[in-house]
Amino acid sequence: MSERVAIEVRDLRIETRAGAAIVEGVDLAVERGSILGLVGESGSGKSTLALGLLGYCQAGLRIARGAVHVDGTDLLALTDAQVRSHRGRDIAYVPQDPQTALSPAQRIGEQIHRILRRHAPERDTPETVALVLQRVGLPADRDFVRRFPHQLSGGQQQRVAIAMAIACEPAVVVFDEPTTGLDVVTQARILDEIRRLSGESDVAMIYVSHDLAVVAEIADRVAVMYGGRFLEEGATADVLQRPLHPYTAGLIDAIPDHRRFAMPRGVPGVAVAVGERPAGCIFEARCALRVPNCAVEEPSLDVVLPGRAVRCFEWERTPPLARPERVEPALAGDAEPLLRIEALSAGYSAGGSTRLVLRDIDLTVARGRSVALVGESGSGKTTLARCIIGLHPPASGAIRLGGEDLAPRARQRSLDARRRIQLVFQNPYDSLNPRQPVGRQTAWPARRLRGLSSTDADGETLRLLDLLRLPARVAQRYPHELSGGERQRVAIARALAAAPDVLVCDEITSALDVSVQAAVLELLAELRSALGLSMLFISHDLGVVAAVADDVLVLDRGEICEAGPARDVLTAPSAEYTRQLVEAAPALEGSDGGGAS
Amino acid sequence: MSRARRAWRAFPPPARVGLVGLVAIVLVAILGPLFAPYPPATSVGPPFAPPSAEFLLGTDNIGQDVLSRVLSGGASVLILAGLATLLAYAIGIPLGLFAGYNRGLAGGIVMRGVDVLLAIPALLLLLVLATGAGAGATILVVGIALVHVPQITRIVRAATLQTTGRAFIEAAEARGDSTARILGVEILPNISGPLLADVGVRFTGSVLLVAAVNFLGLGVQPPAVDWALMISENRSGISIQPWAVVAPAALLAALAVAVNSVADGIARIYGRSSASGEEAPA
């Protein structure tokens, strides 16, 4: 092994107390100054592996086998107390949510001091703290050092968490989705920062993410995880250009890309759950290339090309990437306006004064069109959705549906008005009643809003479940028995049960894995043309917008800063804010130059 | 059946013991009179006779058979405490749901009213009611229910507040569903976990209050047979014939422990099934 290798993992297995493997047979090695991206969808075991690299696992799990050498020391062979002295000094961890990494009751300077005191007392000086903060691009003046975490923005908090991780100049830093909660512009800056630190400080980094596009921006090599195993490993550019494993290919095809107006494609099937690992290949059930042997024998992770390893018998048959061109729905040139919002302002009152989060919004959704509203978190886009369906009374302005003026509150609106606009909520884990079979929840809007009899509504439920490619037995299930993608499809079915004219979708795929997101987007496109739906699609993800929208409006801090056909806005943005968004959005293509400076 | 079996399997061991104990005590209270060797309210021997072959648990202060009285005296406590608890929930749940969902003036008024009730000590309230309206079972049930209403209302309100902001409630509001439906169909089933965890404590509290009031002579009146009354009647002879006090006291204590462990077990099962909602893969 080369001198440069900072962390080396051999045959790591982490399992539940019951013996079900969460992580199985993982080998990896990362050199100083390079970044390994670990990509996987939910349930792939990537976060468990990330913690395992620090010799740690959560309650209920144990490290059953393997070795984790950090700078030559096997962490798994040490006692708990010994491992703790290595953590923070030789290997550090940056979690997804900086609020869990920072103590809310301590000034940030003191928190960095505390780590230095513990692991590098000789360097525990105010100068070191200032230097560390400067290295992550934060001001290091006295005032800033004395701030509490809640006085910082989310991006600044994450930078402090990174500063704490690199304070003791560790050999290895593990990042677990550090940018997932941040907006794309901040995310792009943090990624640049991490990239720069990796070069400057000669540290090995492991970057865990569900987002292949983010990993593409930052990692030198990438490992694709599924069901606790590595399915493919190789240099990032090679893997993205010519994936060898069918799952990797599916994952890449599923990523929406705002630079290409192509429809993302979902990976069929549902991810394997812990404890139901098949005898053969872990991906066999969802694989289009499977041969009989796949169900019997598990392939090993073999180096098949120089620097490329893949766990597949049939890798030579993995088709090259190809993405169907997005089918543009035939548009009537002068479609009549259906939903019209005029000079709408809305806000929240606090202590007598009203703080406006939306100012002078004008928006029109014509019959059969799909309009996307793009904005970062805090831009007011969810408030707009709530105004439209009558959950949040606007401060001023009008909402018209086919000429009818809508009252500010849902209860004051006519039954027909409530039926014609339906909202699909962001989080499918929250938008279904956990204590009701989902069939009852899809039948109710049909009875309440369309006056169907109980029997007819049940028939309608079955028709809708079928339309959303859910088996009829799902009707009897409770939400917690369904996967996230299934739940979101049930939520869409519930909205469609009202036979709406306008479907408002508020970030409906942001809680889903990319492969599932792609399937939902495909389905929406189909429903749109089949049912003649008009859609208002709210999203922060430009790739998703490129896949579904005809027209785009960009919302910047409560005001619309740009509006126009999707192609024009995304390829040639005119507003400065839109330009920033488009540049910061992670994408697979042309990522080579990104942040490499 | 299979559902009951599944619940039994999901029960933690202490809850299983509690369930067996609870069933046994309830059976004693209901079927006990059939097995009583003597009429429970008749003197059949000398006062405070120690246990013997004739009187297995001895006799009490006026020579009645303790075993017969123990077998007959459980029903009143169980029924009164059960009714009081039911009545307390029947009042507290709607109040709490309403106050939690309606954060305007009306909800505030409900909560201030509840706070006033909360400020009165439980026994004081019961004593005032009993002296004002006369001792008796109805007053006892109403009084104990009133003691519980404030806490139940607060628990229900807190749980309702948490649920109200969730998206499925907003979906119902956007459909224009009636408040009654939102409270009853959307919210109530989702706060059953914290409510069930609380039932044990409430019922035990009711049992102890019934016992306390009976012990003070303001509830069930003497010719009646009642565990708490037995403790009160026989406490003067506790050094001569402890069984007349220990037997009913032990049953009351066992009842309290059993109900609580069962309620904890139920709450645990509910907590698990709602927590598992987050585990399903996307």
- Residues A353-394 pLDDT 10s: 888 899 999 999 998 889 999 988 778 888 999 999 999 999
Mean pLDDT over residues A427-451, rounded? Answer: 92
| A551 CA: distance to closest CA in chain B (Å) | 26
Q: In this structure, are residues A421 and A500 in contact, taking their beta carbons and an 8 Å threshold? A: yes
Q: Which of A383, A422, A430 to mutate to test the interface with B (most CBs of B within 10 A)?
A: A430
Q: What is the pLDDT of residue A326?
A: 66
pLDDT per position as a tens digit, A7-36:
999 999 999 888 888 999 999 999 999 999
Q: Is B276 on the interface with A (CB under 8 A)?
A: yes
If phi > 0 it is left, if psi is from -120 to 50 it is alpha, else beta; for residue A557 that is: left
Show the domains of chain A with their CATH numbers. Answer: 5-90+170-317 (3.40.50.300), 101-168 (no CATH), 337-584 (3.40.50.300)
Cβ pair A410:B176 closer than 8 A? yes
Q: DSSP 3-state assignment of B282?
A: coil
Instruction: Report yes or no: A462 at the B interface, CB cutoff 8 Å.
Output: no
Please give the Cα distance from B271 to B265 (Å, whole number): 10
- Over residues B112-122, the mean pLDDT reads 88
pLDDT at res. A593? 36
A494/B273 touch (CB, cutoff 8 Å), yes or no: no
pLDDT band at B155 (very low <50, low <70, confident <90, very high): very high
According to DSSP, residue B59 is labeled B
**For range A574-585, the mean pLDDT:** 90
A vs B: CB pairs below 8 A: 85
Q: Among A388, A587, A424, which Cα is nearest to A509's?
A: A424
Q: Is the pLDDT of residue A110 over 90?
A: yes
Helix (H) or strand (E) holding A356: strand A353-366
- Counting residues of chain B whose pLDDT is more than 90, the rounded percentage is 22
Which residue's structure tokens are 């019951």? A18
Taking CB atoms and an 8 Å limit, are B167 and A484 in contact across chains?
no
Angle at A343 between CA A342 and CA A346, to 5 degrees: 115
In single-letter form, the type of residue at position A219 comes to A
**Strands A353-366, A337-350: pairing kind:** antiparallel
- How many Å lie between the alpha carbon of A332 and the closest alpha carbon of chain B? 31
**Which residues, in sequence order, are CB contacts of A79 under 8 Å at separation 6+?**
none
Name the β-bridge partners of A344: A361
**Coil vs helix vs strand at A375:** strand
Instruction: Give the Å distances, CA to CA, from A564 to A524, A536, A548, A551, A589.
Output: 22, 14, 14, 6, 24
First to last CA, chain B: 32
CA nearest to A590, candidates A260, A175, A266, A244: A260
Structure tokens at A288: 């289009």
Single out the residue of A144, A145, A137 nearest to residue A109, CA to CA: A145
Res. A523 pLDDT band, cuts 50 70 90: confident
Residue A588's φ and ψ, nearest 5 degrees, are -75, -40
Nearest alpha carbon to residue A129 among A150, A160, A96? A160
pLDDT in tens, A220-266: 999 999 989 999 999 999 999 899 999 999 999 888 888 877 788 88
CA pair distance B222, B230, nearest whole angstrom: 9
Q: Is the confidence at residue A109, as pLDDT, over 80? A: yes
For residue A436 the two structure tokens come to 């009701």
Residues of B in contact with A434 (CB under 8 A): 190, 274, 277
- Give the pLDDT confidence score for residue B231 in this predicted structure: 85
pLDDT of residue B9: 78
Alpha-carbon distance B169 to nearest alpha carbon in chain A (angstroms): 8
Contact B274 A434 (CB under 8 A): yes
A161 forms beta bridges with none
**For residue B166, which residues of chain A lie inside 8 Å, CB to CB?**
430-431
Q: Environment class of residue A355 by beta-carbon count within 10 Å: exposed (0-12), middle (13-18) or buried (19+)?
A: exposed
Cβ separation B174–A429 shorter than 8 A: no
Chain B positions touching A480 (Cβ under 8 A) are 273-274, 276-277, 279-280
Strands of the A551-556 sheet, one edge to the other: A421-424, A502-506, A534-539, A370-375, A551-556, A559-565
A565, A371 in Cβ contact below 8 A? no
* Percent with pLDDT over 90 in chain A: 52
| Rounded (10°) CA dihedral A384, A385, A388, A393 | -60
Distance from CA of A419 to the nearest CA of B (A): 7
* Confidence at residue A591, expressed as pLDDT on a 0 to 100 scale: 38
Asked if B216 contacts B146 with a C-beta cutoff of 8 angstroms, the reply is no
pLDDT tens-digit profile of A164-202?
999 999 999 999 988 887 888 888 889 998 999 988 888
The pair phi, psi for residue B43, each rounded to 5°, is -70, 125
Looking at this predicted complex, what is its ipTM? 0.78
Secondary structure element (H or E) that encloses residue A405, with its range:
strand A404-405
Cα-flanking dihedrals φ and ψ of residue A389, to 5°? Answer: -90, 5
- Report d(CA B79, CA B93) in Å as an integer: 21
SS3 A540: coil
Location of structure tokens 């400020």: B119
Alpha helices in A471-564 (DSSP H): 484-496, 514-531, 542-548
CA distance A550 to A547: 9
For residue B274, pLDDT over 50 is answered with no
Chain A residues with beta carbon closer than 8 angstroms to that of B176: 410-411, 413, 415, 418, 448
Tell me, what amino acid is at A278? P
* Rounded average pLDDT over B28-50: 84
- One DSSP character per residue, A162-226 reads HHHHHTT--SEEEEESTTTTS-HHHHHHHHHHHHHHHHHHT-EEEEEES-HHHHHHH-SEEEEEE
Summary mean pLDDT of chain A = 88
Residues A562/A554, Cβ–Cβ less than 8 Å: yes
Say what the pLDDT of residue A481 is.
Answer: 85
Q: Do B186 and A512 touch (CB under 8 A)?
A: no
Answer whether A483 touches B (CB < 8 Å).
yes
Q: Where are the alpha helices (DSSP H) in chain B?
A: 2-10, 13-35, 66-72, 74-101, 105-118, 122-133, 137-164, 167-175, 179-181, 192-215, 227-234, 243-275
Q: Quick one: pLDDT band at residue A450, thresholds 50, 70, 90? A: very high
A408 → chain B, closest CA residue = B174
- Residue B59 β-bridge partners: B65
Q: How far apart are the first and last CA of chain A?
A: 29
Rounded-to-integer distance, Cα A44 and Cα A225, Å: 6
Show Cβ contacts of residue A433 under 8 Å, excluding neighbours closer than 6 positions. A441, A479, B168, B185, B186, B189, B190
pLDDT of residue B275: 40
Are B280 and A482 an interchain contact pair (Cβ–Cβ within 8 Å)? yes
A485 and B282 within 8 Å at the Cβ level: the answer is: yes
Q: Please, are residues B199 and B256 in contact by the beta-carbon 8 Å criterion?
A: no
Q: B180 to chain A, minimum CA–CA distance in Å?
A: 14
Closest CA to A325 of A591, A525, A514: A525
Cβ atoms B61, B234 nearer than 8 A:
yes
Q: Which residues, 6+ apart, have CB-to-CB distance to A12 below 8 Å?
A: A23, A25, A26, A27, A49, A52, A63, A65, A66, A67, A68
Q: How far is CA A29 from the centre of its chain?
A: 26
All domains of chain B, ordered by start, with CATH? 2-46+54-278 (1.10.3720.10)
The average pLDDT across A206-215 equals: 91
